[in-house]
């Protein structure tokens, strides 16, 4: 008998808007933590400060040390908002643009007298290919904004630089604090357009007490693109680049249980699972793996993750790890108990 095909609507749930966290907590480790036991179905409430008590001898935490770049910029002429997605080399980038009708192929975008970009083509995700003339990296550091998710909505003060640049109220005007808080304390390798949010809860002091290793996966639009098809299996993921050092590979092979800190780590580890059996050599490449039920996890033994959007590929991954019914039950419990959701919100530990 063939298994029933899952629909995107099977991963829907009700979330009141007021539970979407708009700002981070003052203390990274102050988040609440919903703990879900996959074997027994038990759901309990805890604080992230207690996370180390769930780590046992032989465990290894694996974290993603990608660093978010200030990839959100605005051209002056014409007025276009851009989210740089991936560096293609030789001063070329792929980018999401808004509004698209102002950024047609063949046009030029002007940022300063020293920086401009020619629109060379379109991408497979509806964006544009840009060839820049000038120092893009320097411009990003001085004028770029953290690429906060669109569900973070804050009012823009009239006359602000952001308001003037966009000509309207922006969906997620960044604050100076976002440059620090929308970044893990262990971020090392620039290249992501979104933070690996499960790692945002860690402080240097906590991390120093726990056995850990790092991988790098530059979070791109593949992780967050909405699922627009009815049948889950028909969704195609956009590839994201990863690197795993030989040191990390050796540590993973020696560990008794791998605790993945975030879905990006889980995707990377399950992508390299076949190669982990053979040697301690470093691994790199790109992954478009789409993890959804049913999926045979071969590496990840426990998962720390934030709460994810309804009908998202991230929620599908978590459901593959712990079972769709149990995960949706846990989410309903989190809603009832007024947990904070999404990037700046609380977390869930699945053991």
| Residues 96, 58 share a domain | no
What distance in Å separates the CA atoms of residue 271 and residue 297, rounded to the nearest whole number?
10
- Token pair belonging to 83: 């989210």
Q: Residue-wise pLDDT tens for the chain (351 aa)?
A: 445 789 999 999 999 999 999 999 999 999 999 999 999 999 999 999 999 999 999 999 999 999 999 999 999 999 999 999 999 988 999 999 999 999 999 999 999 999 999 999 999 888 999 999 999 999 999 999 989 998 998 765 444 444 444 443 445 566 778 989 999 999 999 999 999 999 999 999 999 999 999 999 999 876 667 899 999 999 999 889 999 999 999 999 999 999 999 999 999 999 999 999 888 999 999 999 999 999 999 999 999 999 999 999 999 999 999 999 999 999 999 999 999 999 999 999 999
Picking from 175, 203, 219, the residue at the C-terminal end of a domain is 175
Q: CATH number, domain at 131?
A: 2.40.10.240
| Residues 341, 212 share a domain | yes
DSSP-based three-state secondary structure for 35:
strand
Picking from 106, 141, 175, the residue at the C-terminal end of a domain is 175
| Residues 108, 164 share a domain | yes
What distance in Å separates the CA atoms of residue 306 and residue 341, rounded to the nearest whole number?
7
Residue the block writes with tokens 């262990």: 186
Picking from 175, 209, 230, the residue at the C-terminal end of a domain is 175
- 213 beta partners: 62
pTM for the structure as a whole: 0.90
| Residues 43, 105 share a domain | no
Q: Please, which residues have CB within 8 angstroms of residue 178's CB and are 6 or more apart in sequence?
A: 145, 146, 148
Query: Quick check: is 281 in a domain?
Result: yes
Query: Quick check: is 1 in a domain?
Result: no
Residue 42: count of CB within 10 angstroms of its CB: 11
What distance in Å separates the CA atoms of residue 15 and residue 293, rounded to the nearest whole number?
22
| Residues 259, 185 share a domain | yes
| Residues 311, 188 share a domain | yes
| Residues 211, 278 share a domain | yes
| Residues 133, 104 share a domain | yes
- 66 beta partners: 189
What distance in Å separates the CA atoms of residue 324 and residue 320, rounded to the nearest whole number?
7
Range of the domain at 22: 8-68+179-350
Q: CATH number, domain at 297?
A: 3.40.1780.10
Burial-class residue 256 by CB neighbours within 10 Å (0-12, 13-18, 19+): exposed
| Residues 338, 226 share a domain | yes
Instruction: Give yes or no for a contact between 103 and 109, defined as CB atoms under 8 angstroms apart.
Output: yes
């Amino acid at each position: 008998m063939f298994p029933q095909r899952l629909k995107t609507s099977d991963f829907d749930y009700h979330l009141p808007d007021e539970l979407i966290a708009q700002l981070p907590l003052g203390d990274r480790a102050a988040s609440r933590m919903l703990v879900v036991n996959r074997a027994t179905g038990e759901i309990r409430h805890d604080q992230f400060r207690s996370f180390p008590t769930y780590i046992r001898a032989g465990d290894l935490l694996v974290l993603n040390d990608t660093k978010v770049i200030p990839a959100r910029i605005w051209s002056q002429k014409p007025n276009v908002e851009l989210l740089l997605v991936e560096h293609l080399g030789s001063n070329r980038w792929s980018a999401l643009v808004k509004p698209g009708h102002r950024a047609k192929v063949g046009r030029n975008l002007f940022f300063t007298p020293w920086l401009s970009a020619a629109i060379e083509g379109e991408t497979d995700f509806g964006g544009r290919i840009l060839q820049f003339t000038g120092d893009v990296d320097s411009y990003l550091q001085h004028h770029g904004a953290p690429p906060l998710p669109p569900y973070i909505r804050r009012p823009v003060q009239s006359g602000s630089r952001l308001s003037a640049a966009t000509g309207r109220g922006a969906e997620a005007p960044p604050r100076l604090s976002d440059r620090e808080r929308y970044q893990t304390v262990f971020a090392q390798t620039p290249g992501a357009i979104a933070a690996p949010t499960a790692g945002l809860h860690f402080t240097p002091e906590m991390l120093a007490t726990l056995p850990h290793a790092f991988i790098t996966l530059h979070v791109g639009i593949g992780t967050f693109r909405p699922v627009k098809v009815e049948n889950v299996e028909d969704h195609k993921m956009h590839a994201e680049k990863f690197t795993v050092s030989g040191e990390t590979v050796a540590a993973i092979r020696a560990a008794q249980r791998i605790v993945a800190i975030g879905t990006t780590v889980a995707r990377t580890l399950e992508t390299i699972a076949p190669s982990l059996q053979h040697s301690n050599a470093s691994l790199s490449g790109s992954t478009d793996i789409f993890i959804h039920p049913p999926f045979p996890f071969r590496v990840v033994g426990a998962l720390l993750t934030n709460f994810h959007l309804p009908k998202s590929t991230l929620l599908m991954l978590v459901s593959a790890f712990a079972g769709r019914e149990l995960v949706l039950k846990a989410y309903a419990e989190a809603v009832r108990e007024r947990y904070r959701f999404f990037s700046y919100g609380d977390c869930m530990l699945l053991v």
